[in-house]
Structure 1
């Protein structure tokens, strides 16, 4: 059962089908880990196409335009979550390979249909327990909360991922490493993630009999809800059968209100990623007693001294359904500006992954730092920070400097010349805004 190599391009049919986990084993079986394609990276174009289709459909059918601030925050989190993979192989695969190389007890054939199916079930079962623990163990929740921080529910929400989460999930897949080859595991780890993209939508209501077996948009909407009936439910990745088996399944009932029980009210990308880590740090030091301090880390997010492991449900804030999501009123022109510059950032981001094997370490580092600078600056603009104009002027200047010395290039024809014009204009506009307060500041009267 031969598969195509990691260098082969996906056909359009394969690209579409991988988003729904319907590729055949003979298309996705590889003898070595090096042959396994980076399906997640190849999915970027399909993410964008599906996002655009959802935005158009939602606007035309339900009259719901995408909130640019929330959408860009989610997409920024997606970019951040993938940046470590530019330099390092994913920790889940790396630790899995280590266990396989040193402790495997048997070796299932990599080209077997039954190995493929068993791994499909094993990865999804491992994901269920990781996902459940991510909601029940505070230190793991510190990573996973990023994904739940959006108060909207659409395909951009699927990409609101944590760069910390993968450093906790690897241990839940270790048992498979005793007998399942890493190449088979790496395929299903990616497909399990890709499947969960399309279920983040409100455009699909009910899938009939499939609701009994599969994780669907209806089931996953409940998981993202902060209504009392939604809490701690529907942890499955591809299959919902694990929730039905272990008592965590809840069907969709009343309208779901999305987000965290205690909204974080920010669009800054690093606040979205790290705010709960800061909360744990402060709570750890302010909580008396050694075992209480350990409980802050390893019990549920709602735990406190004298409370059960997962906290008290009656202490959760009341949800009426009338809550307005956190928002910053931005002009249409600023929304367009940020959208254009995020698209330009995606060109740099994609080329970074495609060319990472031939780029120097200095170039890799400078591109990663530029991406981090851009996400930070866009976060400042989204929140109307006082220093946003200064930071954006600096960012645009850095872009032109890096591009001049060939540290920022893409494979898009004529984009370099276009960017020179765009970023030069941006420097002038934001520079004027940055110095305007100094110009208009009234001089103090001399005594």
Structure 2
């Protein structure tokens, strides 16, 4: 759920922030007459996301002596999450805006917004809608093109929860519209956020079993199965907050063998543009090469495992065998470069958060410039992590742009306490990458 335009983003207490993540807010404190009064709960939860990620890192280090979150994979997951929210700087979430349109023009019954019964009905309705959004995103190739982003990590930790698609909301809104016939938009706007917030904490390996709650709630154990590429994990456990829908519709599988995470055909890249959009390119190529209109439509509307002559969702026997010994894609790179990527990412994260906090006070031109800079930064950091041959040129260009934006006040206004340090760091970075470019050019000329 994206941050919604014109919503209040008031500070929350530690108790409220924690309870938001576990869907433990009461109807009395989260019922509103108008959608404009609904807080941006996802934005408010950001510090709690960060705190829980650091806690998971600390617990992992204490338990294993190793960092469970790799800088390249974790940065890619966070980059995808950042990209998924950037459109909300310019347009309201489609899930909310389409819901409001249907409510304003077609609602048949107006349930009271201040009733606990309405609140709980919306809780069930949103979760039921999410089950079908999620299931269709696995069973329809055109929707899988967006959702595969979330499954592309070969690690399973809290950063994986934030690896979201920038395009998924362009289809998910349809599944919630029946609720708009009776449930007020303000109640929907609360639950669409809480349903997403709940799913953050279940992306962890630290919580093994919740006892009797496993029968009702979606838990880390159930969701680990969903993220697996083992054959028994494929197309299972679609629930958001509740697991009862999977049990009712025959898509439930308990955690059994060791789960190997990621896509059945790993993408092996940290380039955020490839992570977000490469499957669309693949889908287009499959569509063009398919014979006849029937096969072309099947490429779009059948499952991602479908090929001519196979069932609609493909044949599980065609999936690559999982041995349990698979090693996630994690190429070696220097600790100095890892530190560099870490610092640059933290800087752009500060800029990103300040942009969302102040965008109502900025001109559209400024918002566009900073948004473009954020996208460029996330892209070039991906090139560095992929050790792309063109990474030096792209990063040098980005550092020069960073200096220009800083000098004209666009970035310095976003990081006032670090203004001087940021300018020095950007200058030194630009010089370093320029030297890398010249060295590569000289070596290339020598070879010729």
Counterpart check, 1:27 vs 2:29 = yes
Q: Shift of the alpha carbon at 1:444?
A: 8.4
Query: For residues 349 and 219 of structure 1, what CA distance do their matches in structure 2 show?
Result: 33
Residue of structure 2 equivalent to 1:364:
367
* 8 Å Cα contact 1:7-1:35 kept in structure 2: no
Residue of structure 2 equivalent to 1:194:
197
TM (norm. structure 2) is 0.96
Q: 2:341 aligns with which of 331, 334, 338?
A: 338
Residue of structure 2 equivalent to 1:407:
410
Residue of structure 2 equivalent to 1:210:
213
Residue of structure 2 equivalent to 1:418:
421
* 8 Å Cα contact 2:9-2:41 kept in structure 1: no
Residue of structure 1 equivalent to 2:61:
59
Query: For residues 263 and 292 of structure 1, what CA distance do their matches in structure 2 show?
Result: 25
Q: Shift of the alpha carbon at 1:178?
A: 0.3
Counterpart check, 1:50 vs 2:56 = no
Q: 1:16 aligns with which of 18, 23, 39?
A: 18
Task: Figure out how many residues of one structure are paired with residues of the other and give that number.
Answer: 441
Query: For residues 307 and 443 of structure 1, what CA distance do their matches in structure 2 show?
Result: 53
**Compared CA separation, residues 64 and 221, structure 1 to 2 (3 A):** farther
**Compared CA separation, residues 432 and 165, structure 1 to 2 (3 A):** same
Q: Shift of the alpha carbon at 1:64?
A: 3.7
Residue of structure 2 equivalent to 1:299:
302
Query: For residues 43 and 207 of structure 1, what CA distance do their matches in structure 2 show?
Result: 24
Query: For residues 28 and 396 of structure 1, what CA distance do their matches in structure 2 show?
Result: 44
Q: Shift of the alpha carbon at 1:25?
A: 1.3
Counterpart check, 1:181 vs 2:184 = yes
Structure 1 gaps of 5+ residues are none
Residue of structure 2 equivalent to 1:166:
169
**Compared CA separation, residues 110 and 363, structure 1 to 2 (3 A):** same
Partner secondary structure for residue 187 of structure 1: helix
TM (norm. structure 1) is 0.96
Partner secondary structure for residue 201 of structure 2: coil
Alignment of 1:215-364 (within 5 A): 215-364=218-367
Query: For residues 129 and 57 of structure 2, what CA distance do their matches in structure 1 show?
Result: 33
Residue of structure 1 equivalent to 2:4:
none
Query: For residues 111 and 181 of structure 1, what CA distance do their matches in structure 2 show?
Result: 10
**Compared CA separation, residues 409 and 94, structure 1 to 2 (3 A):** farther
* 8 Å Cα contact 1:348-1:409 kept in structure 2: no
1:277-319 Cα deviation digits (max 9, x unpaired) = 1111000010101111111101111111121111111111100
Counterpart check, 1:91 vs 2:94 = yes
Q: Shift of the alpha carbon at 1:13?
A: 1.4
Q: Shift of the alpha carbon at 1:443?
A: 5.5
Q: Shift of the alpha carbon at 1:192?
A: 0.4
Could you list the runs of 4 or more consecutive aligned residues of structure 1 that deviate by over 6 angstroms after TM superposition? none
* 8 Å Cα contact 2:156-2:205 kept in structure 1: yes
Residue of structure 1 equivalent to 2:3:
none
Structure 2 gaps of 5+ residues are 1-6
1:149-205 Cα deviation digits (max 9, x unpaired) = 100000010011001111111111010000111111011001100100000001111
Q: Shift of the alpha carbon at 1:403?
A: 1.6
Q: Shift of the alpha carbon at 1:439?
A: 4.0
Residue of structure 2 equivalent to 1:75:
78
1:31-72 Cα deviation digits (max 9, x unpaired) = 111111111122211111111111111121133412111111
Query: For residues 16 and 109 of structure 1, what CA distance do their matches in structure 2 show?
Result: 28
Greater shift in the superposed pair: 97-106 or 411-420: 411-420
**Compared CA separation, residues 228 and 351, structure 1 to 2 (3 A):** same
Q: CA RMSD in A?
A: 1.4
* 8 Å Cα contact 2:19-2:25 kept in structure 1: yes
Query: For residues 252 and 304 of structure 1, what CA distance do their matches in structure 2 show?
Result: 29
Q: Shift of the alpha carbon at 1:12?
A: 2.0
Query: For residues 278 and 309 of structure 2, what CA distance do their matches in structure 1 show?
Result: 25
Query: For residues 377 and 370 of structure 1, what CA distance do their matches in structure 2 show?
Result: 11
Q: Shift of the alpha carbon at 1:272?
A: 0.5
Query: For residues 444 and 8 of structure 1, what CA distance do their matches in structure 2 show?
Result: 60
Partner secondary structure for residue 196 of structure 1: helix
